[in-house]
Amino acid sequence: MGFRSTAIVGTIALVHLFTMSAATAADDEYAGDKSCLECHEAEYNSYQRSQHAVTADPRTPASEHGCESCHGPSKKHADNDGELNVGGLVGFGERAAASAETKSSMCINCHSSSAKLAMWPGSTHMGNGVTCSNCHNPHTDNPKSLKYETAEEVCSGCHANVGFDFQRVSHHPVPEGQIGCNDCHNPHGTSNDKLLVGTTTNETCYTCHADKRGPFLWDHSPVTEACTTCHTPHGSSHDQLLAEKAPLLCQRCHSNSRHPGTLYALNADTTANDSVYVSLNNRAIYRGCVNCHSAIHGSNHPSGKTLAR
């Protein structure tokens, strides 16, 4: 009994000693924030507005090594008139020698336990050399330390094509600020395709369009497979985010041999009244199919087999 507790105390003392000495050894490589202020007043001031500068929180850089929690121990840099890439200095700019991985590690040291960041290792962004500071800059007023005011501006910097998609006539209300890229994607990585927040495209869509989730009495199989068979997720030049306009959209799968023949025959039968003929025909060309097959996403009506109710 007595032996055991002594051993435990001994172990604790030993661990403590090692941590202490490691910290002491590194300590003289740090210069401290006041020395940075001398030459970097602008950065010194801009960082004060970030949550990172909150001294009341014991987990922040301000409670540890301040500037040097993110930029690494920089005494050599400070003592040598701001020489770059010396000592432990980690710069995030273009002249910095640090790799994307080293830059990210400066942040992950503190943020590895965040659920949102759990899938960062191996994510598409990490794998393509993107690093935290491509999207974040703690030297800003932004509440999430984003480089630009909104996430969408940050993303569009590299994904300009996606930014343009949102300018098409029909688009998810991202430019209007109703939803954001992050509602469908987690830029820090997910275990799903395309950094989607849902396990599949459909699961992502159902988070907001729950009424489209089956099973229905009469399912329409492309709907259960992938919403993106018929819709573009970002924006489209066709109504309702459609990938193609009806009837072409439908005719990709429903060969126009049988039914559309019936359809046009039906119109021809109404030639007794010219105006009816014209309006029916217009509907057939534009969105005729869904005029009748209105339960296009599935039907719960006993006689809804042809998705017409």
Q: How far apart are the first and last CA of the chain?
A: 79
Q: Which among 10-18, 20-28, 54-62, 268-276 is the span making contact with ligand HEC, rule CB under 6 A?
A: 54-62
> Which residue from 8, 18, 209, 301 is in contact with ligand HEC, where contact means CB under 6 A?
209
At closest approach, how far in Å is the CB of 255 from ligand HEC? 9
Site for ligand HEC in 10-29 (CB under 6 A): none
> Which residue from 158, 245, 286, 304 is in contact with ligand HEC, where contact means CB under 6 A?
158
Rounded distance between C-alpha atoms, residue 7 and residue 13, angstroms: 10
- Per the CB < 8 A criterion, the answer to whether 206 and 213 are in contact is yes
How many CA atoms are closer than 13 Å to the CA of 214, on its beta-carbon side?
Answer: 20
- Per the CB < 8 A criterion, the answer to whether 64 and 57 are in contact is no
Q: Which among 4-12, 15-23, 182-190, 268-276 is the span making contact with ligand HEC, rule CB under 6 A?
A: 182-190
Owner of token pair 């598409």: 124
Q: Which among 9-17, 20-28, 69-77, 271-279 is the span making contact with ligand HEC, rule CB under 6 A?
A: 69-77
Site for ligand HEC in 251-270 (CB under 6 A): 251-254, 258-260, 263, 266
How many CA atoms are closer than 13 Å to the CA of 268, on its beta-carbon side?
Answer: 6
How many other C-beta atoms are found inside a 10 Å radius of the C-beta of residue 228?
15
Answer yes or no whether residue 36 interacts with ligand HEC by CB under 6 A: yes
Residue 2 vs 143, nearer CB to ligand HEC: 143
List of long-range contacts for 89-94, beta carbons under 8 Å, 24+ apart: 92/131, 92/133
> Which residue from 87, 216, 235, 288 is in contact with ligand HEC, where contact means CB under 6 A?
288
Rounded distance between C-alpha atoms, residue 255 and residue 139, angstroms: 58
Closest by Cα among 87, 96, 162, 102 to 132:
102
Residue 5 vs 178, nearer CB to ligand HEC: 178
Residue 9 vs 149, nearer CB to ligand HEC: 149
Count the site residues for ligand HEC by CB under 6 A: 136
Q: Which among 2-10, 20-28, 142-150, 268-276 is the span making contact with ligand HEC, rule CB under 6 A?
A: 142-150
> Which residue from 87, 120, 216, 235 is in contact with ligand HEC, where contact means CB under 6 A?
120
